[in-house]
Amino acid sequence: MANTPLGFPFGFYVADNSPIDGKYGVLDAGAWRPYTTMAEALAAIPQGIRHIGLTINIGGTEYWWAQGLTDQNLVVKNNGSGGGGVMAWKNSVRAATTANITLSTTQTIDGIALAAGDRVLVKNQTTQSDNGIYVVASGAWTRATDADASNELQNAVVSVDQGTVNADTSWRQNTDSVVIGTSAIVWSSFGAGAAITATNGLTKTLDNIKLGGSLTENTTIAAGTRNLSITRGASQITMNQDILLLSSGFMFLSSTNSIYMDAGANTVNISGTNLNIADIAGGGGRFLLAYTNTSLLTTTNAPAILYTLDIPADRNVTIRATVTARRTGGSSGANGDIASFELVAAFKNPGHAAATQVGATFYPYTFKSQPAWDVIFDTSGNDARISVIGANGNNITWSLNKVEVFRDS
């Protein structure tokens, strides 16, 4: 086995090939000493030797250098074929592909205008057996001489120097026992984020994970013990012309948080359902605001119930409601007959035995085309109710537009 001087200061030397296949060796004054681990090999270097952290690949062999004051020392990790699970580092490439390419002529890859002689990692070919490390040419490309044989691709690792997407990344060849031109040659990102896989709602670019660069239709973040947390500060969820839909669930804001909307064209649109804030029915809340789409058609004079609310035990509850009505047919009245009511009343329910109204109903505003049309409060059992009367030959569509409920502490 011959030793070849590299021309470095302090008399550095390197072996033509690793003499200890599958192990680490220390070259100490011309004699190789085998060690099982890198740590053992470095620890064996005599006192006065300083490890300078330099790695280099020469002829497919990976070396760790140590600098000696009076002696020449070298740590070497088996041969560069990548046998025995050892990674075989290759000379770096200028750029790496992001899509299938034609393996000929100079071209731009990942934002880099390549010239003849540049090394390129080709990893995205539709025919995966065409993947590998190539040298750019004005005609057909050829595989790099350090990666054109099966043993040279075993556990091969290469770094990328430039590129919009791939700059400063490393890639490892994963296929065992490659047959050039036949085997699928598969390269994967090698580094801190390489083992992370993006699932529903996430996108991954090399070592970066993003929450929904654009969420696809029906993307789901599954229920369970995991939460999506956004730390206070500049973080936000931005939705552009899209919808946040909560189905059979709820959005909870703690007492220190709020929903804030900038002035302008922003609105909250509720379609075909109710907007409820702080439901108090039977609970400990003190305020209920409901914008509803509740409607009712009446055709006779008999009272019809439009809304009910259970009055909690031993509490004073005030209800404020807005009701509108319009004639939609019948033998009496005229087309265009309408009505609008705002009414307020207070209720109590001692011991939750029976709800009673406290005082008279107050009507801050009333308008009606036909005098017989009316909206009233009454009670039944533990419930306070809003009822409508006065159709008397008309077909009237009544709508409960808003209910506000206030309760004492």
**Domain ranges across the chain:** 3-79, 89-266, 275-407
Q: What is the pTM of this model?
A: 0.38
Q: Which of 206, 245, 404 lies closest to 321, judged by CA? A: 404
pLDDT of 251 over the 60 cut: no
The separation between CA 389 and the C-alpha centre of its own chain, rounded to angstroms, equals 54
CB 71 within 8 A of CB 49: yes
pLDDT of residue 7: 35
Residues 350-374 as b or e (16 or more Cβ within 10 Å = b): eeeeebebeeeeeeeeeebebeebb
CATH node for 275-407: 2.60.40
pLDDT of residue 321: 93
* Of 1-15, 52-66, 159-173, 354-368, minimum mean pLDDT range: 1-15
pLDDT of residue 114: 97
Measured CA distances, 190 to 109, 153, 207 (Å): 20, 15, 9
pLDDT of 182 over the 90 cut: yes
pLDDT of residue 241: 52
Model confidence at 237, pLDDT cuts 50, 70, 90, reads low
CB 314 within 8 A of CB 349: yes
Query: Is 338 exposed, middle or buried, given 0-12, 13-18 or 19+ CB atoms closer than 10 A?
Result: middle
396 vs 200 pLDDT, higher one: 396
pLDDT of residue 69: 37
Model confidence at 333, pLDDT cuts 50, 70, 90, reads confident
pLDDT of 318 over the 50 cut: yes
